Structure 1
């Protein structure tokens, strides 16, 4: 557990140092290339940092994977930015897990793990999000 916490701290520092590259990579490929990014080379460190942070968070918090996917997208929708702000995403994720745990404990005759409730609530949201993103990419 201390190792996972150290990985999270180091990953957040690395993500903060690479903020400008993250913002440019969040744009479409043509714009990113026009701004001087080498997409293949510059995406690898970002994906590595994101993967390490996701792995470390899962080690600490448990397998509530949907929250990690949904809270970033929800924060981006709330702030209307291209990149989700981390504090907003963390707050939305924490509120979602709290509500899911409350629902799992109170709404059913058997107490369910919070991960089950997040999956039941999150799967339809994720499907809608994927459909919406594919429609946006087809138009653009």
Structure 2
């Protein structure tokens, strides 16, 4: 039996909090499960938020505590935005790639059924392959490595 379930998504919001209230994880940046990074992003958010709040607890007095907490939340948001928006975009791209996947790609001018014919490939294909072979491993290591 094949069960089909639709996954609904929304765009990421670029302001996660107001004053002494902030969001983290899926509340701030929901992701599709294609890369398995949603929970990881929430853990990284918590880690960054703890780092920012520890700075407040070490240097602040009770008088300025509310303003310092609001500033810590803004710093947390600013430090997380680049990584989260990148992972969110890659997750969405992976979803689109999965939905449009075809088991072959034909860049030539000859039908695939005619296997004896020589296909003429587009000159950009070998260049794109070389760039992907070089850049993709580094990007995936950064994506999976976590906080950084």
Smaller-chain TM-score bracket: 0.3 to 0.5
More helix, by proportion: 1
Under a length normalisation based on structure 2, what TM-score does the superposition of the two structures give? 0.32
Under a length normalisation based on structure 1, what TM-score does the superposition of the two structures give? 0.33
**Rg comparison, structure with higher value:** 2
